[in-house]
Amino acid sequence: MLQSTGIVNTREDSRFHISAHLCAGGTDSARAAWRSILKGLPDPTPPDISDTDPLGTDSSPSVDLNEAASAALADDAQNSVDQQTSAAAMDEMRSARRRRRIGDVAWGDLAYRVYTTALACLVFAVFASGWVGDSELSAASQTSAQKFGPVWAGLFAGLVLLLGVRSGTRAGPIALESADVYHLLLAPISRSRVLRRPAVGVVGYGVATGMAVGALVGSLCSQRLPGNTFEWMLSGALFGGAAAALSLGAALITASRRVPRPWIELLAWALLIASVVAVAGYSPFAPLTLLGQILFWPLSFSLLPLVLVALAMILAVVGLRIVGGLSIELAQRRTRLVGQLRFAVTQQDLRSVLLLRKQLASERPRNKSRFARLPIRFGGRFPVFTRDVQSFGRWPAVRVLRVTVLGLGAALCLYGAWSGTTPLVLLAGLCTYVAGLDVIEPLAQEVDHPMMLASYPEPAGVILQRHLVAPVFVMVLVGSEGLLLVWLLHPSVNIIAIGAITVITAATTAVAGASISVVSEAVLDAGDAAMMPPEVTGPRVVIRTLWPPLVAVIGVTPILVAQRAMRLGNDPIPPALTLAIPILVLAGIVFMWVKYREDLHRTMGEAMGAKT
C-alpha cells in the first residue's frame, strides 16, 4: 500500500502494472520494485499540476517565485546577470570562508604538523646527503655525468610531463570542492574566473615544490661534482620549477580541452620515448635533454635551454588563461574521488588509495568477461577459485597492460641485476609487489565486503586464504612472460633455470606481500595505535608500510645468490634453490597468517582483557 500526498492509494489490484517494455530490460529486482510502486498509481485522470492545489498551500505563506526573478531574466537575448557582480559575490564569499577557516585553525596542531614535516624533510636531506657521499668524482665520472646527467634529467622531466598530461585528461590538476562544482561551475559566471584562483594556487605550489626539490638535488650534486653549491642549487631550482611548470601547464591545457587530448598525449609519449632512447644510448639527444642541461649548468653553461624554460612558463600562463574549458563531469568525479583519496592517504590506507586511484582513472571492470564460464561442477567444488577467475576475466585492458608491463619491467630489472647492477633487485621487487596488488583484487574485494564474508558458512580466514591460490597462478604467468623476454635477450640454460626458480619465489612473495597490505587494517586505524606515544607509532607505521614490499623484494633475491655463485665460478642453480626454500616458507607463513589472523587477534585480545 502506498500513500500519496492528499490521496491515499490502496490499489491492491494490479491495474497499473509496469509495462512489458519496462520488463524487457534492467535488473529483475529493479523492475519488481518499480512494479510494486506503480501499483499505487492513482486514477488515470490525474489533476494537472497547474489546475489543482492539492498541497494545502492556502494555509502556507505564498512565495512569489515569479516576481523574485522577473528582472533578472528580462532580456532574453543576452545574459542578464552582470559577471562582475557575480564575481564580486564569489570573491567576497571565498574571502569570508577563508577567514572563517583561519579562525577555526588549531594553531598548536598546525605548528606540530609544520614541525614534523620540516623534521622529516631534514632527516631525508641528511640521509640523502650521506648516501651520496662527499668525495669528488673522478675526471672520467665527471665527464660521464656531464654527458649522461642531462639525458637522465630530461627523462625525468618527460615522466613528469606525461604525468601532468595524464592528470589533465582526468580534469587535473585542480581538485575543487564538491559544492563549488554545483554552486559555482553551474552559476552564470565565467568558469575561467571561477577556476583561475585555485589553478594559480596549484601551479604556484607545484612550481615552488619543484624548485625546492630541484635545489635539494642541486645541493646533493655539488657534493660530488665541481662547482659552487649555490650555483648548483640555483640551477637545480630552475630545472625543478621549469619541469613543474611544464607539467602543470600541459595538464591545464589538456584539462581545458582546447587542444585534442590524443594529440597532447601523443606528444608527451613521443617526448618520453625520445628521452628513453637517448638514455639507452641509441640517440645522442632528446628534446627534453635541453631542459636537463639546466641542472648541470655548473658543469657546462649554455643559454639555449632557457628556450624550454620560457616554453614552460608560456604553457603555464596559457593553461591558466583557458582553464575555463574544464569538463564539469570530470571535475565532479575528480572532486569526489580526490577528497576520499586524500583522506585515505592521511590514513595510510593503501587499499583505499588504490581503489580510488583506479576510479579516478576510470578503470572499471569489463561488463562482459573475457573468459567462458567455468563448468558448473568445477565452480561448485572450487567456488573461490572460480570467483577469482571470473574477476580476472573482467580486468580492463589497461590493467592487463599494466600487469604485463610490470612483469616485463621486473624481468628486465632482474636481468640488469644479473648483469651487475645489484640495486635493481629493489626495483624488480617493487614491480612484482605492485603487480601483486592488482592480482589480489578478488581477495581485496572480499576484505572490502566483510558482511558478505561473514555470511559464508566457513571461517573468514579459510576463504581469504583460498583467494591466494589463483593470484599465485596469475603471477607465475606474468613472471613467465618476463622469463621469455630475458631468454630472448640472453638464451642460456642457466638463465632459464634460475629465472624459473625466481619466477616461483617472486610470484608467491608478491602475492604474500600484497595480501599483507590488503588484509591489514589501515595503518593509523589499527587497533590500539591511537593509545601509543608517537615514538612507538612512528616506527610501527614505517615497519608496517615497508614490510609488505620488502616481502616481495625478498622473493627476487635468488638471482643475487646465483649471480654471486656464477662470479665465483660455481654452479649458480644450487644456491638459488637453497634460498628459494626459506623464501617459500616465508610466503607460506604469510598465507597461514592470512588464514589465522583473526583468531590470533581474538586470542591476543582475550589475553589482554584477562590481564586487565
Partner 1 sequence: MSRSASSDAKNPKEVVRLIGVAKEYGDVGALAPVDLSVMAGEAIVLVGHNGSGKSTLLSIIAGMLEPSEGTVLVHGQPPDSVYARERRSWLPDTPVLYDDLSVREHMEYTIRMHGGQGDEPIIDDLIKRLGLADREDDLPSQFSRGLRQKAAAAVALVRPFTLLLVDEPFVGLDVAGREALLGLLEEARRGGATVLVATHDPAVISRFKRGLVLDDGHVVHDGTAESLHAYLSADVTHGET
The span from the CA of 116 to the CA of 172, in Å, is 28
By C-beta, is 116 or 362 nearer to partner 1? 362
By C-beta, is 6 or 380 nearer to partner 1? 6
Q: Identify whether the C-beta of residue 160 lies closer than 8 Å to the C-beta of residue 244.
A: yes
Q: State the residue for C-alpha cell 523574485.
A: 68
By C-beta, is 98 or 567 nearer to partner 1? 98
Consecutive H or E run containing 162: helix 139-169
Q: Identify whether the C-beta of residue 361 lies closer than 8 Å to the C-beta of residue 170.
A: yes
- Provide the angle, in degrees to the nearest 10, between the axes of the packed helices 424-439 and 397-418: 160
Q: Helix or strand or coil: residue 2?
A: strand
By C-beta, is 73 or 400 nearer to partner 1? 73
By C-beta, is 321 or 394 nearer to partner 1? 394
Between the CA of residue 414 and those of 408, 433, 560, 575, what are the distances in Å?
Answer: 10, 14, 9, 17
Q: Which residues contact 68 (CB under 8 A, 6 or more apart)?
A: none
By C-beta, is 90 or 410 nearer to partner 1? 90
By C-beta, is 145 or 328 nearer to partner 1? 328
- Report in angstroms how near the CB of residue 2 gets to partner 1 at its nearest: 6
Q: Which residues contact 246 (CB under 8 A, 6 or more apart)?
A: 157, 160, 161, 164, 291, 308, 311, 312, 315, 316
- Report in angstroms how near the CB of residue 8 gets to partner 1 at its nearest: 9
- Report in angstroms how near the CB of residue 99 gets to partner 1 at its nearest: 11
Q: Which residues contact 439 (CB under 8 A, 6 or more apart)?
A: 403, 471, 474, 475, 478, 510, 511, 514
By C-beta, is 84 or 421 nearer to partner 1? 84
- Report in angstroms how near the CB of residue 12 gets to partner 1 at its nearest: 14
Please list the alpha-helical segments (H only) found in 460-612: 460-466, 469-489, 493-519, 534-554, 558-567, 573-611
By C-beta, is 5 or 135 nearer to partner 1? 5
- Report in angstroms how near the CB of residue 386 gets to partner 1 at its nearest: 23
Tell me the three cell numbers of residue 273: 620515448
By C-beta, is 50 or 455 nearer to partner 1? 50
Q: If we measure between CA atoms, which residue out of 323, 332, 340, 343 comes closest to residue 180?
A: 332
**For the CA atoms of the chain, what is the radius of gyration?**
30
Q: Identify whether the C-beta of residue 328 lies closer than 8 Å to the C-beta of residue 185.
A: yes
Between the CA of residue 582 and those of 422, 505, 551, 588, what are the distances in Å?
Answer: 21, 10, 12, 9
Dihedral sign of CA atoms 278, 281, 284, 289 in order? positive
Q: Which residues contact 210 (CB under 8 A, 6 or more apart)?
A: 240, 241, 242, 243, 244, 245
The span from the CA of 311 to the CA of 85, in Å, is 35
Q: Helix or strand or coil: residue 105?
A: coil
By C-beta, is 133 or 188 nearer to partner 1? 188
Beta bridge partners of 9: 2
- Report in angstroms how near the CB of residue 367 gets to partner 1 at its nearest: 5
The span from the CA of 76 to the CA of 580, in Å, is 78
By C-beta, is 61 or 420 nearer to partner 1? 61
- Report in angstroms how near the CB of residue 406 gets to partner 1 at its nearest: 23
DSSP assignments along 351-382, one per residue: HHHHHHHHHHTT-PPPSS-SSPPPPHHHHHH-
